[in-house]
Structure 1
Amino acid sequence: MRLSRITAYGSSLLLAAGLTLAGAGAAQADSSTAAANYVALGDSYSSGVGAGDYDGGSGDCKRSNNAYPVLWAAANSPASFDFTACSGAVTSDVVNNQLGPVNSGTSLVSLSIGGNDAGFADVMTTCVLQSEATCVARVEEAKSFVTGTLPGRLASTYTAIRDKAPDAQVVVLGYPRFYQLDGSCLAGLTEVERAAINSAADLLNETTQKSVADHGFAFADVTGNFTGHEICSGDAWLHSVNWTNIGESYHPTAAGQSGGYLPAFTSAA
């Protein structure tokens, strides 16, 4: 529920700090997946922020035991599994901090990345706390970054992965649309704001998919899996603003990981 502008202002710093990106059955393992040396990279959508049951040893990275990489590994028993995805990661974090386990023997890599580079946290903070016009302007600024700057960052990240794992199958997962338009929400953002945010998610996915194809990787689109489960759908697999655990806001729930991300990755892998 949207707070009044006066009340919300008092929570703006908390929201800005916390938002950073942060029903499929188990797949049966076959000979190729069982032999896989699998490394899961990326941001909070891959680490599982919002899905609960976090690994205490992962600290601020908030790696969840309900995240799709863990679920896939449990179902397929790969030869090895390394989970380095981290809440808040940008493309440079993947290159500089997450590629340690990736090597010439790695046969499968997954990641989601780019949302934080594009300013996910600031966009959502702006839209929740400021005017409709300011929200739309901030979304347009982010979209300009996605088309102008992000492709180069993605290309550098994908090249670094390929250089370290020349024979690996690499699956890049996209992001869901956040809102069902004309849905069940009686308060919160306006329909104009929700539509603008959805359009930014679509553009981010389109831009990512093009870069993925240019590098010969596979793109796993989760938009269809989340259709009917967006915020305002009545059966959301995404958190809205969560003032008691602000970092989980706008992230997939455990159902979103198992019903949205896991089947998309399983199909691509």
Structure 2
Amino acid sequence: MKLSRLGALSSSLLLGALLALTGTATAHAASSVQGVDYVALGDSYSSGVGSGSYDSASGDCKRSTKAYPALWAAANSPSSFAFTACSGARTGDVTSGQLGSLNASTDLVSISIGGNDAGFADVMTTCVLNSEATCLSRIATARSYVDSTLPGNLDSVYSAIRAKAPSAHVVVLGYPRFYKIGGSCVVGLSDTVRSAINSAADYLNAATAKRAADHGFTYVDVAGGFTGHEICSGDSWLHSLNWLNIGESYHPTAAGQSGGYLPALTSAA
């Protein structure tokens, strides 16, 4: 009986210790997140174009309260949050106008950039308004740019971020594939064109991932998160062509921000 009681007491003490440690660890994790100084950089995929609920003070940058940086900040209560991502931004716009909030105390930086440099908007305009051959030629030009010029542009941005925020954990997020091939769309672009556009997105993401890795940054793919939610899927997290609000075309919806991008940042932050 004494041994049994001793064993029970030991088990109770051990359980109590484990619970105490778990509670301490949980509290520490919460406090470490709340102590984070977070800066969100990038283009329209980071500012939240397409998700609505835009901050009027952000003007043409169209920063949304439903964009993944704002959602992450709302869920984690960082000690500071600077949201400088802007619709239409290219790499040069980030280095010239978005880095002012970075400093030696910055702990976390997120960014999506490169799509506008590669001519994303012009590719889609060309493909929608012109022949398949013209579209495929424009995509080939974009891929060539990704090979020849984009890596140097990304290097400039990533180096500038590291110089201003030497201790920050930098999360680079990619772009989704736009289309479900063989999906529910019965009009519009051919599946040949849709496949070429998807392939170009993969090509851009691969180049971005390599540059991020070479700078010691964390690259996060979002294409997997959008699988089953592409245009033509029947449950799209991306706007298709929207003639009433052309700027939101081919951008994530609010569901795409919360269901596709937010989990990607959360997993890497």
TM-score, length-normalised on structure 2?
0.89
Asked whether 1:207 is paired with 2:207, we answer yes
- Counting matched residue pairs gives 242
Alpha-carbon offset, residue 30 of structure 1:
2.0
State the partner residue of 2:79. 79
CA deviations on 1:92-138 (whole Å, 9 max, x unpaired) are: 00000000101111110000000000001110000000000000010
Give the distance between the partners of 1:136 and 1:228, measured in 2 at CA.
25
Task: Give SS of 1:39's match.
Answer: strand
Give the distance between the partners of 1:32 and 1:181, measured in 2 at CA.
43
Comparing both chains, which one has the higher relative contact order based on Cα–Cα distances under 8 Å and sequence gaps of 6 or more? 1
State the partner residue of 1:122. 122
Give the distance between the partners of 1:32 and 1:207, measured in 2 at CA.
32
Alpha-carbon offset, residue 179 of structure 1:
0.3
The percentage of aligned residue pairs carrying the same residue is 71
Aligned AA for 1:220? V
State the partner residue of 1:141. 141
State the partner residue of 2:103. 103
Give the distance between the partners of 2:158 and 2:190, measured in 1 at CA.
37
State the partner residue of 1:60. 60
State the partner residue of 1:185. 185
Task: Give SS of 1:219's match.
Answer: strand
Give the distance between the partners of 2:30 and 2:127, measured in 1 at CA.
45
Give the distance between the partners of 1:46 and 1:119, measured in 2 at CA.
17
State the partner residue of 2:45. 45
CA deviations on 1:12-61 (whole Å, 9 max, x unpaired) are: xxxxxxxxxxxxxxxx9722211100000000000000000000000000
State the partner residue of 1:244. 244
Aligned AA for 2:259? G
Task: Give SS of 1:38's match.
Answer: strand
Give the distance between the partners of 2:214 and 2:262, measured in 1 at CA.
24
Give the distance between the partners of 1:197 and 1:42, measured in 2 at CA.
22
Aligned AA for 1:32? S
Give the distance between the partners of 2:255 and 2:142, measured in 1 at CA.
28
CA deviations on 1:159-214 (whole Å, 9 max, x unpaired) are: 00000000000000000000000000010101111011001000000000000000
State the partner residue of 1:217. 217
State the partner residue of 1:25. none
State the partner residue of 1:9. none
Runs (4+) off by over 6 Å:
none
More helix by share: 2
Task: Give SS of 2:109's match.
Answer: strand
Asked whether 1:132 is paired with 2:132, we answer yes
State the partner residue of 1:3. none
Task: Give SS of 2:82's match.
Answer: strand
* Unpaired runs of at least 5, structure 2: 1-26
Task: Give SS of 1:171's match.
Answer: strand
Aligned AA for 2:141? E
State the partner residue of 2:235. 235
CA deviations on 1:205-233 (whole Å, 9 max, x unpaired) are: 00000000000000111010000000000
Give the distance between the partners of 1:251 and 1:258, measured in 2 at CA.
13
Give the distance between the partners of 2:268 and 2:31, measured in 1 at CA.
16
State the partner residue of 1:4. none
Alpha-carbon offset, residue 147 of structure 1:
1.2
Aligned AA for 1:59? G
Task: Give SS of 2:42's match.
Answer: coil
Give the distance between the partners of 1:215 and 1:60, measured in 2 at CA.
31
TM-score, length-normalised on structure 1?
0.89
Give the distance between the partners of 2:78 and 2:56, measured in 1 at CA.
23
State the partner residue of 1:18. none
